Structure 1
Amino acid sequence: MKLLRRPDLELIGIDKGFRGRQVLRQVSLAVQPGEFIAVLGPSGSGKSTLLKIAAGFEQPDSGSVRLQGEDVTTVPPYRRNINTVFQNYALFPHMTVFDNIAYGLRRKKVPAAEVKQRVAEALALVGLASFGPRQPETLSGGEQQRIALARALVNRPAVLLLDEPLSALDLKIRRRMQGELKRIHEEVGTTFLCVTHDQEEAVVLADRITVMRDGGLEQVGTAREIYDRPATPFVADFVGEMNWLRGEAGGGTVRLADGSALHLPEGISPPAGALRVGVRPERLRIAAAGGTPGAWENALAATIARITFQGPSTVVEARTAAGEAIRCLCGPADAAGSLLPGSAILCLWDAGATLVFETAGARAGPGGVEQAGG
């Protein structure tokens, strides 16, 4: 008989409201040992409140929190084997780096020799072995972030919570820190739950992503599952870019608003009616009008409105005969360099890259077709 792993952290049926406003609605999430989960969503989606409930800083109105199988719903934060890295790092300015990291160990009455050894190990882990005597004010943002991580991990928590951990850093440092955070997670094997509004951060770091909207879970899955097969139009829009086209199904065929035939992924057969068709900009290729689609299964006539060179890629913005805007992200080998605004083109893509949603505001059903009433 196969033994099931017990999750390190379980949030079960969590409801939470503030001043008559429902912030979380029946949220359930299980985080497996050693897993890195990102909770992704826009401001106001409830993700930070969910993190505070996991940490014990807020109490749910209903539902429960379990840590390694134990119900800790009413256990105060300092008695949970959970540590949190905050957005502003929360380093003590009057303490050295060493004393900041040692603070939690000393409160637990850990012997001085062990404190020294564990702090040294934590500093080495984050690549700042010689920084013990430094003051926090002398550190860069990226260095402060790593010290905050070392302070949290030195206590060997069962679960590490991260609240928008990289949002205060500029783009270059943020991307470097993404790699550092991934390395640290892989090295220590601690279970991480990270709240972020940054889709790139979630995709790069997480084993699984939880997308939240208006206090509920829209979809939970790997980055590839969420990107390639989003459950709702909201997820499709929030994680990456999407072109939306109007379509109609009926009589065994599917047509776009300009009348062109649409080929769908194998196994998808939407019922008759209006469709919302999605295709990501990087899945499109362009060719001059009058050419042949070749091996591409879908072809849509359009006229170029704007071309924007972005170094390794070029963005072609066009408009279809039905008046719909469409964006194509082209590589160096594409035809974009030889075309001009006003040129007539064909937008080409594979049937497998097509997303189809039957109605707005409902969840996806079998085969990726969104169904009403879900």
Structure 2
Amino acid sequence: MAGHVEYPDPVGRPDMAFALDDVSLDALPLDGMSMINGRDAMGSGVLRNVTLGVRPGRFVAVMGPPRSGKSALLNVIAGMVKPTSGSVRWGTGEKPEAAFVGPVEELPRQARVREVVEQSGSHADASVLSRVYHGAGLWWSRRRRVAALSAAARQRLAVAREAATAPALLLAAHEPGSRAVREMNALSAGLRGIVDSCRLTAVMVTDDPVAAARADSVIFLRRGEIVDMAAGADPGLIHACLARINRLA
């Protein structure tokens, strides 16, 4: 394993945002119930014997070749899909409130930043909203219209909109070609800032080593199994790990 491995934490620890104990999933349902439309659903063995624990307030990146189980893992973590075997536990003891960072195209272009964030976080107090703005780097852009923001700022706004709901889990996915590199980096930067400012737990699927390097830990999947993990790794080390796994895929 690469770098200093922090995950999985010992099974049974009480202070977990979520924990997967020997989880397997035969297929990702295609009935629209999953949070993310997983192209991993083809074939069998979507997830195999996954054991993973993540503490609250952590940012985790998930990487791997196509159809390695990344989308399936995100759906299981969110409680949207029940595993075929094994168990999933959350810190609250119940299925968590999970928010998925949607595409920037869904943002209302003529609305102001504060309208987008504060409408989403209508039940949040001023201190929570302040941490969201600062974490996403949008404090000085609160009165600007979405259409006037840069592509990177709009991506951070998409993160802030979901973070304002104070979810137990904040999830994001990036598949090759779905976002420009600069937007992917803005997504990971926004998640990093929100995790640090609001102490949320975030999980991001990505294929970009630079974006993944902002996470506390990186999990590498291959054919539904966790085959490597790294904590505090730089982009070069992450790229090397991913390249080795891709050669084996």
Please report the TM-score for the alignment, with normalisation by the length of structure 1.
0.49
Matches within 5 A, 1:17-166: 17-18=27-28, 21-22=43-44, 23-68=46-91, 70-72=93-95, 80-88=96-104, 90-92=106-108, 95-106=111-122, 110=123, 118-164=128-174
How far residue 226 of structure 1 moved from its aligned partner, in angstroms, is 11
Matches within 5 A, 1:197-208: 197-202=207-212, 204-208=213-217
Q: Which amino acid aligns with 2:244?
A: D
Residue in 2 that maps onto 1:221: 230
Residue in 2 that maps onto 1:187: 197
The count of residues paired between Structure 1 and Structure 2 equals 223
After the TM superposition, which parts of structure 1 deviate over 6 Å for at least 4 consecutive aligned residues? 225-229
Please report the TM-score for the alignment, with normalisation by the length of structure 2.
0.70
Q: Which amino acid aligns with 1:27?
A: V
How far residue 8 of structure 1 moved from its aligned partner, in angstroms, is 0.7
Gaps of 5+ in 2: 1-11, 29-40
How far residue 96 of structure 1 moved from its aligned partner, in angstroms, is 4.0
How far residue 84 of structure 1 moved from its aligned partner, in angstroms, is 2.0
Deviations 1:98-153 (CA, angstroms, capped at 9, x unpaired): 332233433xxx3xxx6566445422332222434444333322111111121122
Q: CA RMSD in A?
A: 3.9
**Cα distance in 2 for residues equivalent to 1:148 and 1:228:** 29
Structure whose CA Rg is larger: 1
Which secondary structure does the structure 1 equivalent of 2:170 belong to? strand
Gaps of 5+ in 1: 73-79, 243-359, 362-374
How far residue 45 of structure 1 moved from its aligned partner, in angstroms, is 1.2
Higher helix share: 2
**Cα distance in 2 for residues equivalent to 1:186 and 1:156:** 14
Residue in 2 that maps onto 1:196: 206
**Cα distance in 1 for residues equivalent to 2:42 and 2:61:** 28
Q: Which amino acid aligns with 2:179?
A: A
Which secondary structure does the structure 2 equivalent of 1:17 belong to? coil
**Cα distance in 2 for residues equivalent to 1:188 and 1:118:** 7
How far residue 200 of structure 1 moved from its aligned partner, in angstroms, is 2.8
How far residue 193 of structure 1 moved from its aligned partner, in angstroms, is 1.4
**Cα distance in 2 for residues equivalent to 1:165 and 1:123:** 27
Q: Which has the higher contact order (CA 8 A, sep 6+)?
A: 2
State whether residues 206 and 223 of structure 1, in contact with CA within 8 Å, keep that contact through their aligned partners in structure 2: yes
Q: Which amino acid aligns with 2:54?
A: V
Deviations 1:145-204 (CA, angstroms, capped at 9, x unpaired): 111121122222232222229962344x655665554344333332221111122322x2
Deviations 1:284-340 (CA, angstroms, capped at 9, x unpaired): xxxxxxxxxxxxxxxxxxxxxxxxxxxxxxxxxxxxxxxxxxxxxxxxxxxxxxxxx
Deviations 1:189-241 (CA, angstroms, capped at 9, x unpaired): 32221111122322x21222110112221122325599879xxx9756248xx
How far residue 62 of structure 1 moved from its aligned partner, in angstroms, is 3.4
Residue in 1 that maps onto 2:179: 168
**Cα distance in 2 for residues equivalent to 1:226 and 1:117:** 34
How far residue 82 of structure 1 moved from its aligned partner, in angstroms, is 2.4
